[in-house]
């Protein structure tokens, strides 16, 4: 049985979505960032940085969302990735990893808007800069699925675009791409399983106004 350690709204949503797309059996273990359980020895044995996702699969633990998506495709869903050497493989790999180019900005914005609770801890310059860099990076997205047909790259990227709309208006093309992702039954099933909001309680976290603007 596959077991997924999951925190609602986090990158483990990617794996949840992939499992739902695949229709495989799995056990969902809901975790929280607030009870320190991800820093305990049991979880650190699964995920040395104390993060999610973590998954138990085929007698091993894996803890990097992109690697997990690729492994799931190779072992359980070859229709969700172009084979090595096949047309679309390079663009597929690029999409899978580009999701974490967006992810770096999203993580910085999440730290600043949500994790750093006191105003004095935050840098308004970084908040504005990261929002702008995210907006710029989103220009590489869509409107079609990464390889022309839905794949694990769209799960990686779709999740990043889903979050990006909390930090700025999506470019029109990225918004159309997200709609395609959200129209999938697997996405809807994953959303039902995701659980109550753990990280984002507001639909939108606007960048701070420039002084004198």
Ligand X SMILES: N[C@@H](CCC(=O)N[C@@H](CS)C(=O)NCC(=O)O)C(=O)O
Contacts of 177 (CB under 8 A, 6+ apart): 141, 142, 143, 144, 145, 157, 158, 161
Contact of 34 with 22, CB cutoff 8 Å: no
Among 2, 24, 28, 50, binds ligand X (CB under 6 A): 50
Tokens of 88: 């679309």
Min. distance of Cβ 87 from ligand X in angstroms? 27
Q: Does residue 145 contact residue 154 with C-beta atoms inside 8 Å?
A: yes
Residue from 6, 43, 46, 51 touching ligand X (CB under 6 A): that is: 51
Is position 52 an interface residue for ligand X (rule: CB under 6 A)?
yes
The strands making up 60-62's β-sheet, listed across from edge to edge, are 26-30, 2-6, 54-57, 60-62
Question: Would you count residue 11 as binding ligand X (CB under 6 A)?
Answer: yes
Near ligand X by CB under 6 A: residue from 6, 18, 53, 162: 53
Q: Does 56 bind ligand X (CB under 6 A)?
A: no
Q: Which stretch binds ligand X (CB under 6 A): 60-68, 84-92, 137-145, 167-175?
A: 60-68
Q: Which residue has the tokens 């047309």?
A: 87
Among 6, 17, 26, 65, binds ligand X (CB under 6 A): 65
Identify the residue among 3, 30, 56, 64 touching ligand X (CB under 6 A): 64
CB of 42 to ligand X, least distance (A): 15
For 194, the token pair is 């995701």
CA atoms 107, 15, 36, 44: torsion sign:
negative
* x/- letters, 119..158, toward ligand X (CB under 6 A): ----------------------------------------
Site for ligand X in 99-118 (CB under 6 A): 100
Report the relative pairing of strands 2-6 and 54-57 from DSSP bridges. antiparallel
* Positions in the binding site for ligand X (CB under 6 A): 10-11, 33, 50-53, 64-66, 100
């Amino acid at each position: 049985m596959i077991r997924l350690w999951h925190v609602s709204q986090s990158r483990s949503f990617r794996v949840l979505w992939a499992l739902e797309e695949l229709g495989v059996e799995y056990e969902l273990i809901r975790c929280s960032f607030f009870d320190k359980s991800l820093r305990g020895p049991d979880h650190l044995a699964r995920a040395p940085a104390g993060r999610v996702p973590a998954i138990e699969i085929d007698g091993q633990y894996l803890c990097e969302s992109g690697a997990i998506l690729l492994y799931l495709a190779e072992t359980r869903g070859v229709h969700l990735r172009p084979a090595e050497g096949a047309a679309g493989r390079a663009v597929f790999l690029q999409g899978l990893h580009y999701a974490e180019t967006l992810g770096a900005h999203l993580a910085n914005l999440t730290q600043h808007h949500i994790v750093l609770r006191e105003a004095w801890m935050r840098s308004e310059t970084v908040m504005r800069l990261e929002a702008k860099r995210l907006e710029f990076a989103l220009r590489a997205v869509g409107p079609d699925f990464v390889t022309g047909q839905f794949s694990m790259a769209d799960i990686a990227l779709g999740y990043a675009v889903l979050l990006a709309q909390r930090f700025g208006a999506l470019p029109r093309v990225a918004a159309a791409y997200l709609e395609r992702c959200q129209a999938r039954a697997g996405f809807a099933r994953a959303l039902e399983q995701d659980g109550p909001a753990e990280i984002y309680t507001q639909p939108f976290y606007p960048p701070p106004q420039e002084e004198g603007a």
